[in-house]
Amino acid sequence: MPGPILPSEGFNFVGGRKTGGVTIKSGSDIEELIARVVLRDRQAFLDIYDATSAKLFGVCLRILKDRTMAEDALQDIYVKIWRNASSYRPGKYSPMTWLIAIARNHSIDIIRASPPVTEELEEAYDLSSVDPDPEANAVLSGEMRRVDECMDELEGQKADAVRAAYMEGFSYQELADRHSVPINTMRTWLRRSLISLRECLER
Amino acid sequence: MADENENEPEREILAAEYAVGVLDLAERVRVRRMIAEDAEFAELVSKWEDRLAPLDAGTAPVAPPVSVRSTVAARLFGETQNSGWWHSLGLWRPLALAAIALLAVSGLFNITQLTQPPQQGATLVVSLESPDSPVRFVALYQQDGQSMRGSALAGSPGEGRDFELWYVPEDGSSPLSLGVLPESGPITIDLPPDIAARFAEGATLAISVEPDGGSPTGTATGPVVAAGSAKPI
């Protein structure tokens, strides 16, 4: 069993199951667990589930804004994680980034296939008012602050569009509707914003 | 600044758009095909995912209901657990027979062993492969023996790299090295006594790609390219 246990990379890995003891795992622990999942180690897979499912469920809820849909999505996401574990390349990027990308992409596919009735659901599960997790805040990394600073360099509306796209999974069309601009304008805004963001982050 | 992105390669923009999530479903499907087929493009997407990942830090974890965990476990390991690709008889039998033929020709495997009464312990076959890689390796093991005979059937570790074979303990402890494999042809693999004692039906072997000469650390460092579990022949 991988032992210790440091929060890292600005993520808070709180386990979904109360097993007693600490459930926060470091990125390198998760990386080792993924390597064992590739070797079809079921216990390692369940350990990954326990360490990361609350975070991924939070991400699913953020995008899907519906508990039942998010629960179904989470099931499919962990099945994908088991099946695609060998596509994770250790060492290069954070394993948590890889896991969250699977969760985001799956959730976004679901809303693309059947767009939600946004207003009702936002009322039912008001995510805009969910406070960021205090523990996560405590370990907010320099990277997080850096992205925030770079977002601040974008014009207000454009930063909002990038953030809404990433956080809630809005399509170009939905972003254009929200900001009352033609879709091509939104496309240009967002592309320029992303490139500016990259330049700022690489500065 | 306004025109800088005009020169930005289309692929870079597309990778960013996919990572941020604004594309429609058809475009997303197309991008995913590109990711699967084009490692360089896949790397652009990974880089964008990495750049944007700090945005997730503020999302509060929410514990899912425990039913999700048990449903996932049942879906993956429940009644259907024997239907995994490596359990498929259709898949490993032809490979095992090919390996036996190869080993018999090479003199490394005495075909009469198969017809001997089983008091010597069963013969186990491990067919190692993965849906994601071309690597195929078959190992045969006479239970109660101290060595295993194996043969690479397909796949190459690449320039300056080696395949390394691992025994994956059932208890979840770290895989144990069984040595570096030749790229082709038969090989005899000596099993340390403690592994031989544990090696039975269901035992798992895996192959990883390691630096030339094998893992420098004693644990698998490279990607696992094939795995399989032992079956009675």
CATH number at residue A157: 1.10.10.10
Q: Is A19 on the interface with B (CB under 8 A)?
A: no
Is B75 part of a structural domain of the chain? no
Confidence of residue B94 (pLDDT cuts 50, 70, 90): low
CATH number at residue B212: 2.60.40
% chain A with pLDDT above 90? 47
Residues B57 and B168 in one domain: no
Q: Please judge whether A171 and B22 are an interchain contact, meaning their C-beta atoms are less than 8 angstroms apart.
A: yes
Residue A186 exposure: Cα atoms within 13 Å on the Cβ side: 22
Last residue within a domain, chosen from A105, A135, A165 = A135
DSSP chain A: -------BTTB----SS--SS-----HHHHHHHHHHHHTT-HHHHHHHHHHHHHHHHHHHHHHH--HHHHHHHHHHHHHHHHHHGGG--TTTS-HHHHHHHHHHHHHHHHHHHS---HHHHHHHT-GGGPPPPHHHHHT--HHHHHHHHHHHHS-HHHHHHHHHHHHH---HHHHHHHHTS-HHHHHHHHHHHHHHHHHHHH-
The pLDDT, as a whole number, for residue B100 is: 61
Mean of all residue pLDDT scores within chain B: 78
**Could you list the residue range(s) of the whole structural domain that residue A159 is in?**
141-203
Residues B37 and B89 in one domain: no
Q: Please judge whether A38 and B224 are an interchain contact, meaning their C-beta atoms are less than 8 angstroms apart.
A: yes
Residues B58 and B91 in one domain: no
Secondary structure tally for chain B: helices H, strands E: 6, 8
What is the arithmetic mean of pLDDT over B122-136?
77
The pLDDT, as a whole number, for residue A5 is: 34
The pLDDT, as a whole number, for residue B191 is: 86
CA pair distance B170, B103, nearest whole angstrom: 28
Exposed/middle/buried for B211, CB within 10 Å: 0-12, 13-18, 19+?
middle
Residues A167 and A76 in one domain: no
Q: pLDDT tens digits, residue range B41-70?
A: 999 999 999 999 999 998 999 999 999 999
- The nearest alpha carbon in chain A to B76 belongs to A79
Q: Please judge whether B223 and A146 are an interchain contact, meaning their C-beta atoms are less than 8 angstroms apart.
A: no
Highest mean pLDDT among A119-123, A138-142, B18-22: B18-22
Confidence of residue A24 (pLDDT cuts 50, 70, 90): low
Q: Please judge whether B60 and A58 are an interchain contact, meaning their C-beta atoms are less than 8 angstroms apart.
A: yes
Q: Please judge whether A166 and B24 are an interchain contact, meaning their C-beta atoms are less than 8 angstroms apart.
A: no
CATH number at residue A57: 1.10.1740.10
The residues in A 126-155 lying below 8 A from B, measured between CB atoms, are 130-133, 136-137, 140-141, 143-144, 146-148
The pLDDT, as a whole number, for residue A14 is: 36
What is the arithmetic mean of pLDDT over A84-99?
88
Residues A112 and A40 in one domain: yes
CA pair distance A36, B206, nearest whole angstrom: 10
Higher pLDDT, B59 or B139: B59
Q: What ipTM is given for this predicted complex?
A: 0.80
Last residue within a domain, chosen from A100, A135, A170 = A135
Domains in chain B: how many in total?
2
Confidence check: pLDDT of B117 > 60: no
Residues A113 and A51 in one domain: yes
Residues of B in contact with A171 (CB under 8 A): 22-24
Confidence of residue B6 (pLDDT cuts 50, 70, 90): low
**Could you list the residue range(s) of the whole structural domain that residue B145 is in?**
85-232
Least confident window among A20-34, B11-25, B177-191, B193-207: A20-34
Confidence of residue B121 (pLDDT cuts 50, 70, 90): low
Residues of B in contact with A92 (CB under 8 A): 46
CA distance A45 to chain B (A): 9
What is the arithmetic mean of pLDDT over B208-214?
87
Domains in chain A: how many in total?
2
Closest CA to A171 of A180, A181, A161: A161
Confidence check: pLDDT of A119 > 50: no
Residues B228 and B137 in one domain: yes
Higher pLDDT, A2 or A41: A41
What is the arithmetic mean of pLDDT over A48-77?
96
Residue of A43, A56, A75, A160 to mutate when probing chain B, most B C-beta within 10 A: A75
- The nearest alpha carbon in chain A to B206 belongs to A39
Confidence of residue A23 (pLDDT cuts 50, 70, 90): very low
Is B77 part of a structural domain of the chain? no
The pLDDT, as a whole number, for residue B101 is: 62
Q: pLDDT tens digits, residue range B192-203?
A: 888 888 888 888
Q: Please judge whether A49 and B72 are an interchain contact, meaning their C-beta atoms are less than 8 angstroms apart.
A: yes
Residues of B in contact with A137 (CB under 8 A): 58
Residues B58 and B161 in one domain: no
CA pair distance A31, A155, nearest whole angstrom: 37
Looking at the partner chain, which of A14, A16, A190 has a beta carbon nearest the beta carbon of B22? Answer: A190
Last residue within a domain, chosen from A90, A109, A135 = A135
